[in-house]
Structure 1
Amino acid sequence: MRAEYIGVGDLARLGDFASFDWLESDLESEWHRPPPYDAHAEAALAEFALGLDALIVCHGSPRITGSLLSMTPRLRLVGELEGDRLARRIDVAACSARGVVAVDTTQGSSYPVSEWALALMMIGLRDAGALYRRIINHEDVPSGDTRPDLPFYRRGELEGKTVSMLGCGHIGRRLIEYLRPFKTPILVHDPYIPIETADAIGFELVGWEAAFALADVVVCLLPLTPATRHRIGRAEFDLIRPDCVFVNVSRGAVVDSDALIERCRKGDISVCLDVFDPDTIPIDSEIRDLPNVFISPHIAGNTRASRTRFFELMVDEIDRLRKGYEPRFQLSDRTLANRAGDPPPPRG
């Protein structure tokens, strides 16, 4: 695990301004739930962290709880390398109550995910998945076809298309940067974003239904929470207009798979998925056979560079704290509300 996450250069960079040590921990760990409570593991971690200013945790670590923090009064920062951006391994409220900064740098994978989202948008607009299916099935596919009834000819270029994002965290904001050269109007539905962020970054905040009805491309970036499971269903797919492209690079279970398949059967939209529900698509699932669906097997965030970037960004955060700066990737009340599926704090 250490070799996967820790770049030698970043470790040396940390050593330039801090001393550090390691503690091995192998608790059962899954991205979608907190690790199980283990009193022995918590006591061992508390003893290890007693004289530390910062503590970085990842896969296998016990949860950072109020009890543990009470035993480590010197701690100023707790960082998470593998929290799926929702910090299930850190009690953020307990950190806040004790003045400990909680930081999550797993958004380091937002770089490749946003790149792949951009690629899927283009694949969908050009109907590339359907064309590739025909080619590998040895069908006659004319070269340079310009018949006006062809989906790729009608949908055309990304330039100037209206792009709607469902959720706009780190992936969405990076995707907005990638979209700037294409001059795409950008709509965002995300009740957890402060209203001033729209002006600062350059997008329009819209309601839930408008996010589907007004776009040429809809990109799903919703985290999976109790409030978002199967949040996108028949009503939402009925709002999507013909020739729209629907992209999902977040979690498969935020979409009702039956409703998605039903909409895809009409053949008038293009769907590009990096995720599906269930996450490993059953061999006999109809989604595999629909010609207007392009699928990748949940690979958007999986690059060697993204794994070491988690620690690279964490070293940056510790350095900022050392210099008296505010860390950039702090977990907040909005993070907690989003994770729980609770209503967001008031905008303003």
Structure 2
Amino acid sequence: MTRPHTIAFAMDPARTEGVITPPLLDRLARSCTIVDPTPLRSFTQGQAPEVLRRTEILVTGWGCPAIGRRILETAPNLKLVAHAAGTVKGFLSPDVLEAGITVTHAAEANAIPVAEFTLAAILFANKHVFRFRDLYRADRNRSRTFPLTAQPVGNFRRTIGIIGASRIGRRVIELLEPFHFRVLLHDPYVDARGAAALGAESVSLDELMRLSDVVSIHAPALPSTQGMIARHHLALMRDGTTLINTARGIIVDQQALIDELRTGRIDAIIDVTYPEVPEESSPLYDLPNVFLTPHIAGAIGNEREMLGEFIVEEIERFVEGLPLRSAIMPAALETMA
């Protein structure tokens, strides 16, 4: 009988609660030998070196220590890094992929709640839900809200601009399909035919900003995308339109966005900022045309189990010698989110 693969874990338990649930741990135990069920938070302290020496599959998550060339020496039998979260770029060195170790991640699963959050944001934005709420709360009657219901608000035949045909961007486009929307897409790596196959029209960034009722950002945070949404792009947005950002705050010129929002001309639904937590004095907390959330679009609460389930399935496929669904290719690492 072939010896089962050995498996260990590296993540911060406080940040990853609910990802690898007891039933999922039981599933792993049926296909692998668990070296130690307690997640490693350091690769150098205590029993960590011995655990790593015996490990062939390392399940990582939020709070995982950096994995680079030095760790590869400590874990000579390592064959698979399975990241039960989205991006691996914050902790994984390219050395790992170059050493021939397979790396997979749960970004596909994490895309689901982000896309659902975005769909809800789009529908609420076009319906001006937050403005209606604020007026109703302030007046305690319908003297101002009722006349607004006859104004051109709503979701029928609106134009939605998607920036970035990422996993999340593509899934958002899929979710928009049942609605009466015109969907525009800006992605330098997707041509007109590719956009049409996704159900969108390929346009320039300027066109997208000018034509859209709602602009939703789904580009990765790369050196080439930092500040990509600049002051002149925001100025192209028509009065009453909405910017949604569930990607990364650094993609948008933050001061330019604040300046534009201060005019009251556009609205914003913002789940990410730069810096990630705005200063206490930031206008983003108080502007009435801003709906600010603390980076909750991705998997939180019981949604985290989707990440764990996806990674357990990937590990089962690896053990059975089947192709992985989300294996990361070395060439793709630089352009990934």
TM-score over 0.5 for the pair: yes
Residue 168 of structure 2 is aligned with which of 168, 171, 178?
A: 171
**Distance of 2:252 and 2:189 partners within structure 1:** 20
Hey, what does 1:95 align to over in structure 2?
A: 96
Hey, what does 1:345 align to over in structure 2?
A: none
Are residues 1:186 and 2:183 paired? yes
**Distance of 2:148 and 2:39 partners within structure 1:** 62
Are residues 1:76 and 2:79 paired? yes
**Distance of 2:74 and 2:194 partners within structure 1:** 38
What's the RMSD between the two structures over aligned residues?
Answer: 3.1
Hey, what does 2:154 align to over in structure 1?
A: 156
Which AA in structure 1 matches 2:27? R
Label 1:46 to 1:210 Cα distance change in 2 as closer, same or farther (>3 A): farther
Hey, what does 2:26 align to over in structure 1?
A: 12
**Could you tell me how far 1:179 is from its partner in structure 2?**
1.2
**Could you tell me how far 1:332 is from its partner in structure 2?**
2.8
Pairing 1:106-185 to 2, within 5 Å after superposition: 106-138=107-139, 141-142=142-143, 145-146=146-147, 153-157=151-155, 159-185=156-182
Which AA in structure 2 matches 1:25? L
Kept after mapping to 2: 8 A contact 1:130/1:294: no
Label 1:238 to 1:201 Cα distance change in 2 as closer, same or farther (>3 A): same
Label 1:295 to 1:96 Cα distance change in 2 as closer, same or farther (>3 A): closer
**Distance of 2:279 and 2:71 partners within structure 1:** 42
Q: Which deviates more, 276-285 or 181-190?
A: 276-285
Q: Which deviates more, 66-75 or 234-243?
A: 66-75
**Distance of 1:60 and 1:294 partners within structure 2:** 28
Are residues 1:258 and 2:259 paired? no
1:162-182 CA deviation, whole Å, 9 max, x = no partner?
Answer: 222222322222222221111
Q: 1:227 aligns to what SS in structure 2?
A: coil
Q: Which deviates more, 299-308 or 196-205?
A: 196-205
Hey, what does 1:31 align to over in structure 2?
A: none
**Distance of 1:195 and 1:20 partners within structure 2:** 48
Kept after mapping to 2: 8 A contact 1:120/1:272: yes
**Distance of 2:118 and 2:325 partners within structure 1:** 24
**Could you tell me how far 1:137 is from its partner in structure 2?**
2.2
Q: Which deviates more, 61-70 or 252-261?
A: 61-70
Q: 1:4 aligns to what SS in structure 2?
A: coil
**Could you tell me how far 1:208 is from its partner in structure 2?**
2.8
Hey, what does 2:220 align to over in structure 1?
A: 223
Label 1:211 to 1:228 Cα distance change in 2 as closer, same or farther (>3 A): same
Kept after mapping to 1: 8 A contact 2:126/2:213: no
Which AA in structure 2 matches 1:113? V
1:93-125 CA deviation, whole Å, 9 max, x = no partner?
Answer: 323333221112145332222111111112211
Hey, what does 2:40 align to over in structure 1?
A: 25
Kept after mapping to 2: 8 A contact 1:224/1:253: yes
Residue 52 of structure 2 is aligned with which of 43, 49, 64?
A: 49
**Distance of 1:46 and 1:169 partners within structure 2:** 37
Kept after mapping to 1: 8 A contact 2:126/2:154: yes
- How does the TM-score come out when normalised to structure 2? 0.81
- How does the TM-score come out when normalised to structure 1? 0.79
1:288-309 CA deviation, whole Å, 9 max, x = no partner?
Answer: 4433322233322252222222
**Distance of 1:74 and 1:15 partners within structure 2:** 19
Task: Work out the number of aligned pairs and report it.
Answer: 322
What 5-or-longer segments of structure 2 have no aligned partner? 1-12
What 5-or-longer segments of structure 1 have no aligned partner? 28-37, 341-348
Kept after mapping to 1: 8 A contact 2:136/2:145: no
Residue 309 of structure 2 is aligned with which of 292, 308, 312?
A: 312
**Could you tell me how far 1:236 is from its partner in structure 2?**
1.0
Hey, what does 2:240 align to over in structure 1?
A: 243
Q: Which deviates more, 43-52 or 248-257?
A: 43-52
Kept after mapping to 2: 8 A contact 1:162/1:217: yes
Hey, what does 2:9 align to over in structure 1?
A: none
**Distance of 2:53 and 2:189 partners within structure 1:** 35
